[in-house]
Amino acid sequence: MERQPQSLLLCALIFISFFALLHLIEAQDQQGFISLDCGLSPNELPYNDPLTGLTYSTDDGFVQSGKTGKIQKEFEAIFSKPALKLRYFPDGVRNCYTVNVTQGTNYLIKAVFVYGNYDGLNNYPSFDLYLGPNLWSTVDMNGRANGTIEEIIHKTTSNTLQVCLVKTGTSTPMINTLELRPLNKNTYNTQSGSLKYFFRYYFSTSGRNIRYPNDVNDRKWYPFFDSKEWTEVTTDLNVNTSNGYQLPQIVMSSASTPISTFAPWNFTWLLPSSTTQFYIYLHFAEIQTLRSLDTREFNVTLNGKLAYARYSPRTLAMETIFYSTPQQCEGGKCILELKKTPKSTLPPLVNALELFTVIDFPQLETNQDDVVAIKGIQNTYGLSRISWQGDPCVPKQFLWDGLNCQSADISTPPTITFLNLSSSHLTGIIAPHIQNLIHLQELDLSDNNLTGGVPEFLATMKSLLVINLSGNNLNGSVPQTLLQKKGLKLSLEGNSNLICPDGLCVNKAGNGSSKKTSVVIPVAASVAFVVVLGSALAFFFVFKKKNTSNSEVTLGSSSYTQVSDDRTTRSSEPAIVTKNRRFTYSEVVTMTNNFERVLGKGGFGMVYHGTVNGNEQVAVKMLSHSSSQGYKEFKAEVELLLRVHHKNLVGLVGYCDEGENLALIYEYMANGDLREHMSGKRGGSILNWETRLKIVVESAQGLEYLHNGCKPPMVHRDVKTTNILLNEHFQAKLADFGLSRSFPIEGETHVSTVVAGTPGYLDPEYYRTNWLNEKSDVYSFGIVLLEIITNQPVINQSRERAHIAEWVGVMLTKGDIKNIMDPKLYGDYDNGSVWRAVELAMSCLNPSSSRRPTMSQVVIELNECLANENSRGGTSQNMNSQSSIDVSMNFDIETTPGAR
């Protein structure tokens, strides 16, 4: 009896040790997981969710703004503990979470939103959700009393990830939980873009939702079963799921199969639109015990097109079949069918199905070195500006206060070029992190309380042209290297203890005690010259304006009124000269049947299908009020298309210019744009080489007409595959002339203008000099040529060289055309024709515009390429046909390795 307390103590210790070990095992299972209970007090310890066993912790330290709240008691019984609290953001427009991640890793990211009338206003919020600088989704909680979840699979591009909530109206953004789960690197990979959750089903009558710990990746599986058409198959045996996707045993231990042995297995879903791209993942395992003569073999088809032939699931071993390229369904309706082959004695069987839509994130994050530097500056000075959240540079509407940024093109991360922290109550020394902003051109730290010396590293910053350190308490000597740096403007006034040696600084003493220091370098003579030149130019333009104020406005006119942000105000624009073919807004509404059918969306706005005179089909492009393009581009396109006509330029049927309602009405191009066909978004077979050549010949002819057939000549400025449209006969026509410019003076070789165009296609010489000429279009056309040859994206960060021109240049050194040519053509082309096209493309991309061919020469060369291909005879596929090899290669398969 005396030993009983000791025994009880020993049992208690064993129990505690076992519990600690169990907790350790759970923690290991959650390795890499990030589970934030948004709104949990930083004083509260992490806790385990009783339903899942997942460990949640406070979001304090991951976000620097917002207030905490709690859903009302009447909702508490509906939700698990992590959803009971929340963080809401009444201040600022963009509020962001910053999470450390492993670069290059696929993460499943989930954000949970439960309103629960936390504020007593019963006003369900709506706001935007961003992943880094790109829009992820719009969260509209209206009518969602049970909350909503946004889920995405995204490959990280840096070692930090930012999830931002953006206020878009009067309601306040809020969030309950934010969760990240790292996935196996060989799973859920895409050709481009990220995967937005659409559905995830396992086929069972259980009615049970499956999540962690059953699913080690914390995917949530919903049961689905069509009892009228299917019968359920189950097993108690273990299924080998170690193929990387690692589905739960409970998911793979059930499956659906048609009730009738001879019936196919069908599954139908609707997508948001016919242009929506998606990836589908089918998970199979044979879980029935087959008799010796039994076989199960079936074909997989999507909307009637064969995707995988004669497939047989492996016994008690999971296999995953998926498309390696994004798919589309005509009309947005998709029908997946599994149909038994003639040799099969059993009907098809499937265990689980996942589907994701593709979401593209084209905007690159700010240069990571610049991000580290600016955050170091933020931490050094304890800056808590509400706008200093998320990406510093992009998107532009959320640019951090006091910064300016720039990027060469869409393939280049933006860099910080301007930093203004004037009057920001800064104390201490000038932050050493500033020297890591290597692209910085202007630095303003004036009117603060900075102390210490002027650092010498400022002189080593090669891009820095303007430094304003006036109005501080700096002391010591100004470094000679800084004073001697050519082209630098340095302001040091108001630093009474600062010493400028050798009389290079002008000292002004009020009563003999205070000094004001100002140093400006360049040379005084140069300044005087600039002043004289500026006065002369001002006189010239005033004189010119008086003489041209009443003249007719042409596309190249300089009479536009410029505002400070380099945009043109609508009120300053003269009306369009030609009034023919003008439609009222009510006529536009009628012709589009109240904007019923959307054809697409561009930088200008939405494009709708319409009908004029009851039978003529048209495409109506409406200017969006949020568009980056404006009335200037609209006016330019109308005036150009009203005076130029060519079979390879998209014709303008008319326009609408009524108050805020602006529309361009074009001839209808039934087959969309060239990029859609190259990428497979339009469905059908891949364009053969002969058809590609025909399309670029016709595009080149349209461009050649602009350069040589127009008086004055025109430069398109935005030549790219999305601006090459195809009609019902696959005739190519050049479109989108909003950025086009003319040469108003005959014989002029170039126009000096602000750089415009599409990154990746932009002529580097034009970008560098601001001098625009026809050869800028030639460069862009060279990029188009490389696209039709390679069927590669213009920018691809995963390639050996990101830009297509650099990549092709590297591949050419290996001398094998097959390394460059689109593999989907399966060698069905004339090698001589291809080599000639490649050489022509590379000549168009010559860094020196004077060494590029003219568009007339390009047309001649391309016609020769086409003639060579036509004379070959060859085995080019008909455009409407699709070879079986093309279909069978659409799917990849991942299996569990067999035993040796």
Instruction: Encode pLDDT of 412-438 as tens digits.
Output: 899 999 999 999 999 999 999 999 999
More confident residue, 118 or 756: 118
Beta carbons within 8 Å of 536's beta carbon, 6+ residues apart: none
In a 3-state reduction of DSSP, which class is residue 300?
A: strand
Neighbours of 736 (CB within 10 A): 26
Closest CA to 819 of 850, 792, 843: 792
Confidence of residue 684 (pLDDT cuts 50, 70, 90): low
Amino acid at residue number 894: E
Q: Per DSSP, what are the bridge partners of residue 274?
A: none
pLDDT at position 77: 87
Q: What pLDDT score does 625 carry?
A: 62
Alpha carbon of residue 441 to chain centroid: 27
DSSP state, 501?
G
Query: Chain centroid to CA 764: how far?
Result: 23
Q: CB under 8 Å to 428, separation ≥6 — which residues?
A: 380, 381, 450, 451, 452
pLDDT at 740 > cutoff 60:
no
Please compute the mean of the pLDDT values over residues 199-204 and round it to a whole number.
Answer: 98
Question: What is the C-alpha separation between 240 and 237, in angstroms, rounded?
Answer: 10
Q: For residue 693, is pLDDT > 80?
A: yes
| Alpha carbon distance, N-terminus to C-terminus of the chain | 60
Provide the greatest CA pair distance for the chain: 117
Lowest mean pLDDT among 43-57, 210-224, 514-528, 864-878: 514-528
CATH, domain range 380-392+402-525: 3.80.10.10
**Greater model confidence, 544 or 789:** 789
Alpha helices, DSSP H, located in 34-124: 73-76
If pLDDT is split at 50, 70 and 90, which confidence band does 824 have? confident
Peptide bond into 313 cis (omega under 30): no
Res 507 pLDDT > 60: no
Average pLDDT over residues 269-284: 95
pLDDT of residue 889: 25
Cβ-based neighbours of 493, under 8 Å, separated by 6 or more = 470, 471, 516, 517, 518
- pLDDT of the residue at 501: 64
pLDDT in the model for residue 246? 95
Amino acid type, 652: L
pLDDT at residue number 556: 28
- CA dist 732 and 862 (Å) reads 14
Q: What is the pLDDT of residue 655?
A: 87
State the DSSP code for 592.
Answer: T
Q: What is the model's pLDDT at position 627?
A: 54
- Fold of the domain spanning 570-667: Phosphorylase Kinase; domain 1 (3.30.200)
- pLDDT tens digit sequence for 258-272: 999 999 999 999 999
**Total Cβ atoms within 10 A of residue 274:** 15
Among 2.60.120, 1.10.760, 3.40.630, 1.20.120, name the CATH number for the domain at 198-359.
Answer: 2.60.120
pLDDT of residue 342: 94
Question: What would the two tokens of residue 53 be?
Answer: 């066993």
Residue 502: the pLDDT is 53
Length of the chain as a residue count: 900
Q: Hey, where are the domains in the chain?
A: 28-183, 198-359, 380-392+402-525, 570-667, 674-872
Band (686; pLDDT cuts 50, 70, 90) = confident
CA neighbours closer than 13 Å in the CB half-sphere of residue 467: 28
For 144, the 3-state DSSP assignment is coil
- 28-183 with 198-359: one CATH topology? yes
What is residue 705's DSSP assignment? I
> Taking the C-alpha atoms of 562, 534, 419 and 389 in order, what is their torsion angle to the nearest 10 degrees?
0
Say how many C-beta atoms besides its own lie within 10 A of residue 822's C-beta: 19
Helical (H) or strand (E) element with 544: helix 524-548
Given CATH 3.40.718.10, say whether it is the number of domain 28-183.
Answer: no
Q: pLDDT digits over 217-238, tens only? A: 999 999 999 999 999 999 999 9
Compute the average pLDDT of residues 501-515: 41
More confident residue, 279 or 613: 279
* Region 614-639 average pLDDT: 73
Which residues share a beta bridge with 149?
Answer: 112
749, two tokens: 């070789």
> Under a CB-based contact definition with an 8 Å cutoff, are residues 63 and 87 in contact?
yes
Residue 76 is encoded by which pair of tokens? Answer: 């508490």
Whether residue 626 has pLDDT greater than 70: no
Cα separation, 355 vs 64, whole angstroms:
35
pLDDT tens, residue by residue, 238-261: 999 999 999 999 999 999 999 999
Contacts of 101-105 with CB under 8 Å at 24 or more apart are: 101/156, 101/159, 101/160, 101/161, 101/180, 101/182, 102/32, 102/156, 102/159, 102/182, 103/156, 103/157, 103/158, 103/159, 104/155, 104/156, 104/157, 104/185, 105/155, 105/156, 105/182, 105/183, 105/185
Neighbours of 657 (CB within 10 A): 20
Instruction: Return the higher-pLDDT residue of 590 and 538.
Output: 590
Which structure tokens are listed for 96?
């962001």
State yes or no: pLDDT of 678 exceeds 70: yes
Phi, psi of 73 (to 5 degrees): -55, -35
CA distance 142 to 834: 56
Give the CB-side neighbour count of residue 516, counting CA atoms within 13 A.
8
Q: Is the pLDDT score of 27 beyond 90?
A: no
| Mean pLDDT, residues 813-833 taken together | 82
Q: Per CATH, the architecture of 674-872 is what?
A: Orthogonal Bundle (1.10)
Please answer whether residues 415 and 370 qualify as being in contact, where contact means their C-beta atoms are separated by less than 8 angstroms.
yes
Rounded Cα gap, residues 333 and 278, in angstroms: 12
Res 572 pLDDT > 70: no
Check whether 375 is labelled as a binding-site residue: no
Catalytic site includes residue 218 = no
**Can you tell me the mean pLDDT for 661-681?**
87
Residue 554's pLDDT band, with cuts at 50, 70 and 90, is very low
Which pLDDT score is estimated for 20? 40
How far from chain centre, in Å, is Cα 496? 50
Provide the mean pLDDT of the chain: 82
Higher pLDDT, 100 or 741: 100
Q: Which of 128, 718, 822, 830 is the catalytic position?
A: 718
Distances (CA, A) of 370 to 367, 413, 438, 731: 5, 10, 8, 47
Q: What is the mean pLDDT of residues 639-647?
A: 75
Q: What's the rounded Cα separation, in Å, for the pair 348 and 825?
A: 33
Distance, in Å, from the CA atom of 300 to the CA atom of 893, rounded to the nearest integer, reads 13
Overall pTM > 0.85: no
865: three-class secondary structure by DSSP = helix
Range 102-117 burial, b when 16+ CB lie within 10 A, else e: eeebbbbbbbbbbbbe
Report the distance separating Cα 293 and Cα 315, nearest Å.
15
Kindly state the percentage of the chain with pLDDT values over 90.
58
Q: How far apart are CA 282 and CA 352, in angstroms?
A: 6
Higher pLDDT, 512 or 341: 341
269: how many CB neighbours lie within 10 A of its CB?
Answer: 16
What's the half-sphere exposure (Cβ side, CA atoms, 13 Å) at 204? 21
